[in-house]
Structure 1
Amino acid sequence: MARPSSGSGSGLFVTALTAAALAVVAFFAFQASAADDRPSAAGEPSAPAASEGDSDGAGGAGGGGEGEGEGAEEPSDPALPEESGTGRRVVYALAQQRVWLVDVAADGSGEEVVSTFEVFPSPVSPEPGEYAVSSRNPQGTGSDGVPMEHAVIFHADAEGVVFGFSAATDGSVPDPESTQRTGAIRQSRADGDTMWEFAEQGTAVVVVA
């Protein structure tokens, strides 16, 4: 029987090596594919997470925008001073430099403050006590020489100083440091309108410390 030639044996050997090499390549390709399919290790996020600073910044901005101003109470007007008379009247508090216009409630349940506002006194102030509106002047010139409107006069002292509420037409207020002895109690023009409508002739004016 004839023996196989050496060329045939070499061919078989090469074929075997090629098959083995292909098997190795296929094995490593499979391993790489399996690694890609495996889930991420514990504690390692699969995608970049938002930084803590970004999260806090967004939350802080949102929270501040929504909550700002919520629950804040509007400042209330100062309460009507105690021991300030009864009935329809103007109450003038010297220390607070403020007046209250007080009337009897329409339903008869008591008194109500119709309005309250700041005033700007001159260097001389009236003594605490109860007075009444003695005269009114829609327009004129104040004792300080300033054009004024809606003057509501309620007292003149022994030295001739006249006390009354009024509004300067130029919006100015008295200088409390002035050496000129005047008793003008100035208001804004809007508040002067309110006083004029409320304080009729004979209306009580109660001055408290």
Structure 2
Amino acid sequence: MTAEQVIKLGKEIKKPDLGWFSQFTGETWLTIGICLTLSVLLFIWAANCIIGDGEKRFIVGVILLIVAGFTFFGAGLSSVSKENEIYDQRISNWKERYAKPYIESLPKEKKEIVYIKIDAELSHETEGSYIWGNGYTYSKEVKMTPLTISFKGNGLETETNWYSTNMELTNEQKPYLEYQYLNQNLGYDINKGRYNKEIYLPESYEFTDIK
């Protein structure tokens, strides 16, 4: 699948138009009817105990309008909430089925690291979830390390972020950064940039520079 196909599928996602009462079942309407009836009877009884007939009819009428207004308003909010829930789920499915596999199919690039420092002051990201903004697409248990690194990219590039680190190299090998590069925006906050970044370090590497 190409990036253009992934983008096209993303653009086809539409927010559903459920209508104000489409999510209400027969049981829901029965519950609302019972509650409204009991409320009206309660207010009529209270009005009979306190005020005269003319004032009573007026107040009961106002109460009915208020109750009806709140019912319709609540139905509207419920419908909007359900529409947003369905829309968000469709976007999540698109990321899982199309965007994520496309990014993870991209070739891996390797860049030599010339400087590395632990940045303990970096705010923590949630581990084990989709961290699109942090450059990760996989959902698995990952040990992340807050680092500032400089590497040979377009000239010398420096960035600070949370990285997956692997200490698997021999003493003769230099540290390097490996990632998959997305060269265009796919939509829904999946933007051009480096994804699935992993840092490889020699087994004997020691962090001597810590912020």
Length-normalised TM-score, structure 1: 0.24
Q: Which has the higher helix share?
A: 2
Larger-gyration structure (1/2): 1
